[in-house]
Amino acid sequence: MARSIIIKAPAKVNLGLAVLGRRADGYHDLNSIMQQISLSDTLVLTPRLRQGWEFFCTEPSLAGESNLVCRAAALLSREAGCRLPGVRITLFKQIPVEAGLGGGSSDAAAALFALNRFWGLNFTLHKLLDLGAQLGSDVPFCLYGGTVQVMGRGEILEPLPPLPFHWVVVAVPAGLRLSTPAVYRSLVLGRQSVPPINDLAGAIKEGDCARIGLWFQRESVNTLEEAVLPACAPVAALKHRFKEMGLSPAMSGSGPSVFALVESYSVASMAVRSLLEEGTRAFLCWTVPGNFRKDGVENV
């Protein structure tokens, strides 16, 4: 019988995100740099006697067959085309939902990775990346991990050297969720700002912390803030609060999460404590390198 597997599914932040234009298929061409962080969901796979899979989630609003974890299981088993051992999948949710932190995509990537091992399929990473792209635009990045420049719809990956270690203060306005399609729909294209992502990629390639710090001094490093900030006062207020604490904030993905890279642990932990006291959902995280996936899998 297959052994149980525990796997972490880390969140991501967009260190920069430029929306270049709308494509014929309705998606948008992007140029973005994504960074995995320590805040993670956890997936536990255990054997069960009956064939097929059953899925449990600690967050009731995410239970059910439409969860990307179940869609990943369905896609992988269709691709395998044979009888597979029964598996019970439990998702312990920690990453805020619909917050721009890539939680659902990371869960899907972790499910592909762990089921590939649980079922002994031996699909290559290349194959999993291909399947991941069918599940969601951010899934290929989540399979790869670390620090990556992401282009096209999200399927073109240019791995970068690991970002020098930073603490990451992440916060989400209490009770706020944003639908990614709705944010993209409300973006006025044609006169949107296009942050020069290649400048940041250059700074990361050179490991130049001063230039990386300067990047976050820009008014906006994420085109999607133009769609979110005018319509969503709590996100603008949260960015303002970060600045009051001396941090340089950016919105991640389609929001509403806001984050800042911080070099000092005491500065980061004091900021998180203040935010929590004010009723904001806040997390003290850190950057994780690309080999996190290897270390994040445990057979028990």
Residue range at the interface with ligand C5P (CB under 6 A); choices 93-101, 133-141, 156-164, 278-286? 133-141
Count other C-beta atoms under 10 Å from residue 199's C-beta.
Answer: 14
Shortest separation between residue 181's beta carbon and ligand C5P, angstroms? 4
Shortest separation between residue 74's beta carbon and ligand C5P, angstroms? 16
Judge whether 12 counts as a catalytic residue.
yes
Angle at 144 between CA 282 and CA 34, to 5 degrees: 45
Given 8, 12, 93, 239, the catalytic residue: 12
Note whether 137 binds ligand C5P by CB under 6 A: yes
Count other C-beta atoms under 10 Å from residue 214's C-beta.
Answer: 14
Residue range at the interface with ligand C5P (CB under 6 A); choices 43-51, 90-98, 176-184, 202-210? 176-184
Q: How many residues bind ligand C5P (CB under 6 A)?
A: 11
86-119 burial, b for 16+ CB within 10 Å, e for fewer? bbebbbebbbbebbbbbbbbbbbbbbbbbbbbbb
Rounded distance between C-alpha atoms, residue 243 and residue 91, angstroms: 35
Instruction: Rule CB under 6 A: choose which of 96, 136, 249, 256 binds ligand C5P.
Output: 136
Q: Are 238 and 282 in contact (CB under 8 A)?
A: no
Note whether 180 binds ligand C5P by CB under 6 A: yes
Question: Pairing relation of β-strands 297-299 and 5-22?
Answer: antiparallel
Note whether 184 binds ligand C5P by CB under 6 A: yes
The token pair at 18 is 């430029």
5-44: contacts with ligand C5P (CB under 6 A): 27-28, 30
| Residues known to be catalytic | 12, 138
| Residues found near ligand C5P in the complex (CB under 6 A) | 27-28, 30, 136-138, 153-154, 180-181, 184
